[in-house]
A and B are shown apart, each in its own frame.
Chain A
Amino acid sequence: MSTASEAIELPARYRRLPRVHPALRRPLAVTGAAILAIWVLVAIFAPLIAPYGPDVLGNSLSAAPSSAHIFGTDQLGRDVFSRVLYGARISLPISALLVLMSLTIGSTVGSLAGYFGGVVDGVIMRIVDLVFAFPAIILALVVTAVLGPSLQNAVLALVVVSWPTYARVVRGLVMSASQREYVQASRLLGASARQTLLRDILPNVIGPVVVLATLDFGNAILLLSGLSFLGLGAQPPTAEWGAMVSYGTQYFQDWWMSTFPGLAIFSSVLALNFLGDSLRDALDPHGSWTTRGGRR
């Protein structure tokens, strides 16, 4: 029995979405948030969840995954599962700190450039162009090589390379927001630059910057673990994911030593990208799941 509604086949985008719980319409956002929440909980409660300490040397060396050690053990008998759990306490907060630092520096510099324009803008944007001319990892390689390999220096190096992204985005947003009539009005009424920036312009900027930061968070984890993998970040015996993958490469046949820490990096970055991508959808419906910008 055919009904009238079947006769007209609308293109997919005009079709009404099936009536489901709002959360399920954004399966990626939900999945991303769930995975991320699990990692945050793991980072907080690692000592309670982990069956062993991160640096406890056990008796079974290089043991394949078993019921006693579900992710196996490494060459020194350390439990890989416990080390992966403890690794969340390093990669996640430090990458978050890295993003926060780049965001603060970049947004401040970018809003100054966008608001004042002229010479300030010219100088700042030339510096930004300069940093952009170096692929992130090369500059980071130079900085860590010069300052010496440590997690602290790796973070510093990555701040140096990642603030310009924020500066560029914020500058553009501030520039277009400054043109709005209400901002002009507020300035005419005698509001100071500081007031205008914080009260009138900031609300326009914050959405896109949050999206950028979420996506950049994933990038930060990738770059930081990449530097640690190269031996330029966290040093052994720190239970950092990138350093653990690097350690595993020495015992290539024992696949579990590098596979599981790598999976931890992958899952947390994927979760952040799921989340950032969905946030972008929500804030910029025109672009759908698409982007213009971003840099690795």
Chain B
Amino acid sequence: MALSIGIVVVSFVLTHMVPGNPALANLGQNPTPSEIRVFDQRNGLDKPLPVQLGLYFVHLLQGNLGTSQQTGDPVAHDLSMAIPATAELAITSIVIALIFGVGFGLVAALRRDGVTDFVLRILSLVGVSVPTFWLALIALYLLFFKLGIFPGGSRLSPTDTAPPHVTGMYTVDALLAGRWSTFWDALHHLLMPAMILAAANMGLLTRYTRSAVLEVMEHDYIRAAKAKGLSRRTVVFGHILRAALPSIVTVIGLAFANVMTGAVLVENIFSWPGIGQYGYQSSTTLDLPAIAGVSLFIAVVYVVVNFVVDVLYGVLDPRVRVE
């Protein structure tokens, strides 16, 4: 709670202690003094900073994040349009990273010090080292421009129309509407950016999984499980992976931060109308309410994700449950 208030204050103060002048950034080349005055008044920029902060809190409690100077719409509305697009991308990407990262980490641990282990180690280091924006460009050049396997950006083909709005996530909405062709089209557009976003997290998850699995494998009960003749599959999935899961889950908070960082870059390259692109555009135009809204939203989600991770940890590891 204290953290949330702190986040609001920080995102507000950061975006309002500006040497840059939002009026100048938004009104074009040579605004007249009266134009600037009207702009400042309309956006509440003529009041002292503490008053602005107080008003911001009051409005926030009413669900009002202010009006974007760039789009002219309420920031809350802009966010509600952008969030599903990013959520769809982020969730898909984290799922991909989890499948490959946990799989690779498990294999690396089971074949410790072997060739497979070494190759996977290099792969995971490549994953965390490759610049996301560069990977995106290379993938676009090869898979879209040269080979035409994947579309070159945006959420749907121009010939397709968005499914009726339920969640805002096109794949889910298309399924709900029973429009299979739209679903495949949306998925087709989603996969490449999601895989690129997954690269860093895949590397991270491989390392964490490997270390968690190795730690579990040292325990006597694993040896006992093997000794009593359980099948390899039961030991690996039922005993080893099950016990390693709590440590793996703790990385998801970190993975989320990675995805948001990557989203700013990837959404801009793939013209994906999500939070990353919105935040970037509002930061280049000094759209203060929008920037404050975006950083507030991301910080809150980050706190929520970490809370969920804590809860999940408790579910997976009964020892840490508080009575």
For residue A126, CB closer than 8 A to chain B, the reply is yes
Q: In the bound complex, do residue B260 and residue A13 qualify as a contact, i.e. CB atoms below 8 Å apart?
A: no
Name the residue of chain B whose CB is nearest to the CB of A218.
B129
Q: Please, how many angstroms separate the alpha-carbon atoms of A253 and B144 in the complex?
A: 11
The A interface, classified by DSSP as helix, strand, loop or mixed, is helix
Of the candidates A12, A28, A225, A292, the one whose C-beta lies within 8 Å of that of B131 is A225
Task: Indicate whether A296 sits within 8 Å of B200 (C-beta atoms), given known contacts A138-B264, A226-B133, A253-B145.
Answer: yes
Q: Please, how many angstroms separate the alpha-carbon atoms of A142 and B6 in the complex?
A: 16
What's the least CB distance linking A271 to chain B, in Å?
9
Task: Indicate whether A230 sits within 8 Å of B265 (C-beta atoms), given known contacts A262-B137, A262-B138.
Answer: yes
Task: Indicate whether A266 sits within 8 Å of B279 (C-beta atoms), given known contacts A142-B291, A145-B286, A253-B145.
Answer: no
What's the least CB distance linking B94 to chain A, in Å?
14
Q: Please, how many angstroms separate the alpha-carbon atoms of A245 and B134 in the complex?
A: 7
| Cβ contacts A201-220/B at 8 Å (1 or 0 each) | 00000000000000000100
User: Which of A49-57, A66-74, A128-136 sits within the interface?
Assistant: A128-136
Q: Please, how many angstroms separate the alpha-carbon atoms of A287 and B126 in the complex?
A: 20
For residue B230, CB closer than 8 A to chain A, the reply is no
Q: Which residues of B contact A253 (CB under 8 A)?
A: 145
Q: Which residues of A contact B30 (CB under 8 A)?
A: none
Task: Indicate whether A134 sits within 8 Å of B302 (C-beta atoms), given known contacts A148-B20, A266-B131.
Answer: yes
Name the residue of chain A whose CB is nearest to the CB of B285.
A145
What's the least CB distance linking A173 to chain B, in Å?
19
Task: Indicate whether A133 sits within 8 Å of B286 (C-beta atoms), given known contacts A146-B17, A230-B265, A290-B207.
Answer: no
Name the residue of chain B whose CB is nearest to the CB of A219.
B128
Q: Which residues of A contact B122 (CB under 8 A)?
A: 28
Q: Which residues of A contact B291 (CB under 8 A)?
A: 141-142, 145
Q: In the bound complex, do residue B137 and residue A135 qualify as a contact, i.e. CB atoms below 8 Å apart?
A: no
Q: In the bound complex, do residue B257 and residue A147 qualify as a contact, i.e. CB atoms below 8 Å apart?
A: no
Of the candidates B3, B18, B302, the one whose C-beta lies within 8 Å of that of A135 is B302
For residue B216, CB closer than 8 A to chain A, the reply is no
For residue B155, CB closer than 8 A to chain A, the reply is no
Q: In the bound complex, do residue A296 and residue B258 qualify as a contact, i.e. CB atoms below 8 Å apart?
A: yes
| Cβ contacts A275-296/B at 8 Å (1 or 0 each) | 0010000000001111110111
Task: Indicate whether A146 sits within 8 Å of B279 (C-beta atoms), given known contacts A135-B257, A288-B211, A296-B200.
Answer: no
Q: In the bound complex, do residue B125 and residue A130 qualify as a contact, i.e. CB atoms below 8 Å apart?
A: no
Q: Please, how many angstroms separate the alpha-carbon atoms of A130 and B214 in the complex?
A: 33
Q: In the bound complex, do residue A138 and residue B298 qualify as a contact, i.e. CB atoms below 8 Å apart?
A: yes
Q: In the bound complex, do residue B131 and residue A265 qualify as a contact, i.e. CB atoms below 8 Å apart?
A: yes
Q: In the bound complex, do residue B125 and residue A274 qualify as a contact, i.e. CB atoms below 8 Å apart?
A: yes
For residue B268, CB closer than 8 A to chain A, the reply is yes
Q: Which residues of A contact B14 (CB under 8 A)?
A: 139, 142-143, 146
Name the residue of chain A whose CB is nearest to the CB of B141.
A255
Q: Which residues of B contact A248 (CB under 8 A)?
A: 137
Q: In the bound complex, do residue B211 and residue A133 qualify as a contact, i.e. CB atoms below 8 Å apart?
A: no
Name the residue of chain A whose CB is nearest to the CB of B212.
A290
What's the least CB distance linking A52 to chain B, in Å?
23
Q: In the bound complex, do residue B133 and residue A147 qualify as a contact, i.e. CB atoms below 8 Å apart?
A: no
Name the residue of chain B whose CB is nearest to the CB of A246.
B133
Task: Indicate whether A136 sits within 8 Å of B261 (C-beta atoms), given known contacts A141-B279, A252-B145, A290-B210.
Answer: yes
Where the two chains meet, the residues of A that have a C-beta atom closer than 8 Å to any C-beta of B are 12-13, 28, 126, 129-130, 133-139, 141-148, 218, 222-223, 225-226, 229-232, 242, 245-246, 248-249, 252-253, 255, 258-259, 262-263, 265-266, 269-270, 272-274, 277, 287-292, 294-296
* 30 A-B interface contacts by CB (under 8 A): A130-B6, A130-B7, A134-B7, A135-B257, A135-B260, A138-B294, A138-B295, A141-B291, A142-B11, A142-B283, A144-B283, A146-B15, A146-B18, A148-B20, A226-B265, A230-B268, A245-B131, A245-B133, A245-B134, A252-B140, A263-B134, A265-B134, A269-B131, A277-B125, A287-B211, A288-B214, A289-B121, A291-B208, A292-B208, A296-B200
Closest A-B pairs by Cβ, 4 of them: A290-B211, A262-B134, A145-B283, A270-B129
